[in-house]
Amino acid sequence: NAGVTQTPKFQVLKTGQSMTLQCAQDMNHNSMYWYRQDPGMGLRLIYYSASEGTTDKGEVPNGYNVSRLNKREFSLRLESAAPSQTSVYFCASSPRRGSGTQYFGPGTRLLVL
Amino acid sequence: KNEVEQSPQNLTAQEGEFITINCSYSVGISALHWLQQHPGGGIVSLFMLSSGKKKHGRLIATINIQEKHSSLHITASHPRDSAVYICAVSPDMEYGNKLVFGAGTILRVKS
């Protein structure tokens, strides 16, 4: 099993450009999450999907959209990138929402110029 | 005030030392998690606990629900333990159903 995979690993964007971060898990988990990690701050939840077909906003959703394409895949889209979105993005999954252990992908490092 | 506070923020230890990292939280929880992040690496879950104590190798995690406090101990520390250790809580249903993370403790173990 590959666990949770993310693509790309690293991306540089110019302000105003758009891009989609891809995430997939092969553990048959119901819940998936997108976080951003910034220096000196804890992981912050952007969006989550408790189950296939549902998505909900997290703590910092502004400037992002998500799609739960199927049970395996959960993508994060930046429609018009801003320098404030420079961060490391982690996707995670868990068998169930809330208290279950979460399994993290390797992260995507995004730089917006 | 953050819902999850960790201390210390940074910790440097000599190889072989006993290490303690603390986590305090202010909300009702159904579980508490300890995670590890190596430099440039991904995030790995070490423990999930809702009461008492858990042990895995040289790592021990304890939680006191009444005091809203957890500790992560590393015995006989080694340079390969150098990483960021993150505490996170699963708030109970009253507070919403998602993980809330502390800012992390950066641990460096010198040989």
Reported as a single tens digit per residue, the pLDDT across A75-87 is 999 999 999 999 9
Reported as a single tens digit per residue, the pLDDT across B69-104 is 999 999 999 999 999 999 999 887 644 457 889 999
Which chain B residue's Cα is nearest to A41?
A: B103
Sign of the dihedral through C-alpha B105, A64, A105, A27: positive
Q: Smallest Cβ distance to B42: which of A42, A58, A104?
A: A104
pLDDT band, residue B53 (cuts 50/70/90): very high
Question: Are A108 and A20 contacting, i.e. CB atoms less than 8 angstroms apart?
Answer: no
Size of interface A-B (CB pairs under 8 A): 55
pLDDT at residue B93 in the model: 62
State whether A98 and B90 contact (CB < 8 Å). yes
Contacts of A44 in chain B (CB under 8 A): 101
**Of the candidates A76, A92, A80, the residue with the CA atom closest to the CA atom of residue A8:** A76
Residue B91, CA distances (Å) to A23, A100, B28 in order: 25, 12, 6
State whether A99 and B31 contact (CB < 8 Å). yes
Burial class (CB in 10 A: 0-12, 13-18, 19+), A16: exposed
Q: Is the model's pLDDT at B108 over the cut of 80?
A: yes
State whether A42 and B86 contact (CB < 8 Å). yes
Report long-range pairs for A81-84 (Cβ below 8 Å, ≥24 apart).
Answer: A81/A13, A81/A14, A81/A15, A81/A16, A81/A17, A81/A18, A81/A19, A81/A110, A81/A112, A82/A15, A82/A112, A83/A15, A83/A112, A83/A113, A84/A112
- Asked if A43 reaches chain B (Cβ–Cβ under 8 Å), the answer is yes
pLDDT at residue A53 in the model: 87
pLDDT at residue B40 in the model: 78
pLDDT band, residue B111 (cuts 50/70/90): very high
Stretch A9-15: mean pLDDT: 96
The whole-angstrom distance between A78's CA and the closest CA on chain B is 22
Stretch B18-40: mean pLDDT: 93
What residues of B are in the A interface, CB distance below 8 Å? 2, 4, 30-31, 33, 35, 41-45, 48, 50, 86, 88, 90, 97-104
Stretch A74-102: mean pLDDT: 89
Reported as a single tens digit per residue, the pLDDT across B39-50 is 877 899 999 999
The whole-angstrom distance between A99's CA and the closest CA on chain B is 5
pLDDT at residue B80 in the model: 95
Stretch B8-36: mean pLDDT: 95
pLDDT at residue A91 in the model: 96
Please state, rounded to an integer, the average pLDDT across all residues of chain A.
92
Residues, chain A, total?
Answer: 113
DSSP readout, chain A?
---EEEE-SEEEE-TT--EEEEEEESS--SEEEEEEE-TTS--EEEEEESSTT--EE-S--TTEEEEE-SSSBEEEEESS--GGG-EEEEEEEESSSSSS--EE---EEEEE-
Reported as a single tens digit per residue, the pLDDT across A17-61 is 999 999 999 999 988 999 999 987 889 999 999 888 899 998 899
State whether A90 and B2 contact (CB < 8 Å). no
- Taking CA A109 as the corner, what is the angle to CA A64 and CA A47, rounded to the nearest 5 degrees? 30
What are the two backbone dihedrals, phi and then psi, of residue B80, each rounded to the nearest 5 degrees? -70, -10
State whether B97 and A90 contact (CB < 8 Å). no
Q: How far apart are CA B14 and CA A56, in angstroms?
A: 45
Q: If you search the block for the tokens 């990138």, which residue do you land on?
A: A81
pLDDT at residue A100 in the model: 74
Q: Is the model's pLDDT at A1 over the cut of 80?
A: no
Q: Is the model's pLDDT at A10 over the cut of 70?
A: yes
Question: Are A33 and A109 contacting, i.e. CB atoms less than 8 angstroms apart?
Answer: no
% of residues, chain B, pLDDT over 70:
95
- Asked if A109 reaches chain B (Cβ–Cβ under 8 Å), the answer is no
